[in-house]
Amino acid sequence: MRILVGWDDPAQAELMALYLDVEEDSVYIATSPEDLLAAAARAVWDVVLLTLRLPTLDAGFEVFQKLRRIMPDCPVVGTCDPRDVIQLARFISAGLRSHVIRDSGGDFVFLLHVTLQSAVQAVRAEREQKLAERLREEVDSVRKLQESIIPKDLCCPSGYGIQARYEPSQIAVLGSRPVVLAGGDYYDVFRLDQRHVVILLGDASGHGMKACMSIMTMHTLVRMIRGSEYNDTARFVAEINERLCQQSVLQDEGGFITLLYAVLDSELGELQWTSAGHPPPLIHRLSDGAIDVVGPSDDSGLPLGIYPEVEYESHTLTIPRGSRILMYTDGLVEAFPSGIEHVEFGIEGVSRTLVENADRSLGETLRALFVASHTFTGGVGRHDDTSVVLLERE
């Protein structure tokens, strides 16, 4: 600690200097108001020890007020004679952090170091709490910005059902309370025309403002070119990649986005899709309960924003009637409990939950997936935000 002392007894000041100037602490003792205020102005201190009579109570209070103006964030600990205890009230009201009573035998000196240390620790704890609250507000703002681009009402052609859900991760503790983290997950569902419906999921690397802004940038690009009605999913993804490679918000510090872009032809019952480093969809045939990965599971394509002029592949599936297609971000399958052994919820957990909820509605099945993956973590929460889209051909 860097300790500044304003004292009225030079002889006693020498003893205090010997007692307080220990280990990594440093002490400067001023025996006049002028010297004290000058020292306060020329250096940074962790705490001030001030006798309330310097040399009188009124003069000491005036010095105390000047100290508060010079160093408003520095705690001041006062000492006073037993006869002056009643005068402590105005000092405390003006911001005195703590105090010690000066007994005639001088034993109070042995209380000074621990009292000063406690005052410094209390102020640091308060600062950390304020910082935590500011960070919480910033995280909430970023999360609300992210959630503002996620659609609330999903369009669905006749003969199909569709449900989607997004949940941020909620695992950290900030200021003694869990924090809902901002991330880079995103989904969108919209019509190209009466026949075609676009379904896409994106997941930006990292968390916080950068991930959010990366997703916002991609969302803007998608909305800018959706009028072109890119039914060729590979061409569309390649175009998005080209544009993202020109965006500094994504290029800084090696950021990237995984994307699953799909177009449903509701008349033919065909789903064409392209992956850019994203997990492939799953198909659940309700008739026999079979669940399979759609398309090649070992060729997910290169994530967006890494290199320009990348060629992507399109895959096409005719969705059998009475089947469901699950599209998701990796936060769902990568949920894991705390502990030494790292075991993920995985495709096995997802498949088991889909089978167990085959006779329930899409919305109920979606809720069951989120509950099951959260329960798998032992209640600590998923370590990544999660988006899921569930499509059914009736």
pLDDT tens, position by position, 5-20 = 999 988 888 888 888 8
pLDDT band at 136; cut points 50, 70, 90: confident
pLDDT band at 226; cut points 50, 70, 90: low
Higher per-residue confidence, 314 vs 133: 314
CATH class assigned to 149-393: alpha beta
Residue ranges of the domains in the chain? 2-128, 149-393
Beta strands in the chain, from DSSP E residues, in sequence order: 2-6, 26-30, 47-51, 76-80, 98-101, 160-167, 172-174, 177-179, 185-191, 196-204, 257-265, 270-276, 282-285, 291-293, 315-318, 323-328, 386-393
pLDDT of residue 76: 96
pLDDT band at 179; cut points 50, 70, 90: low
Contact 178, 205 (CB under 8 A): no
pLDDT of residue 360: 96
pLDDT at 132 over 90: no
Q: What is the mean pLDDT of the chain?
A: 87
Contact 274, 233 (CB under 8 A): yes
d(CA 389, CA 367): 12
Q: What is the CATH number of domain 2-128?
A: 3.40.50.2300
Q: What confidence tens digit (pLDDT) does each residue in 263-284 have?
A: 999 999 999 999 999 999 999 9
pLDDT band at 180; cut points 50, 70, 90: low
Q: Let me know if 118 is exposed, middle or buried by CB neighbors in 10 A (0-12, 13-18, 19+).
A: middle
Residue in 162, 155, 160 with CA at minimum distance from that of residue 267: 160
pLDDT band at 227; cut points 50, 70, 90: low
- 137: which 2 tokens? 């507000």
pLDDT of residue 58: 94
Query: What does R_g of the chain's alpha carbons equal in angstroms?
Result: 32
Q: Which of 14-23, 36-45, 107-116, 192-201 has the lowest mean pLDDT?
A: 14-23
Q: Let me know if 123 is exposed, middle or buried by CB neighbors in 10 A (0-12, 13-18, 19+).
A: middle
Q: Which residue has the tokens 């410094």?
A: 120
Amino acid at 349: G
Total residue length of the chain: 394
Q: Once rounded to an integer, what is the mean pLDDT over residues 353-379?
A: 93
pLDDT at 288 over 80: yes
Contact 333, 279 (CB under 8 A): yes
Percentage of the chain exceeding pLDDT 90:
56
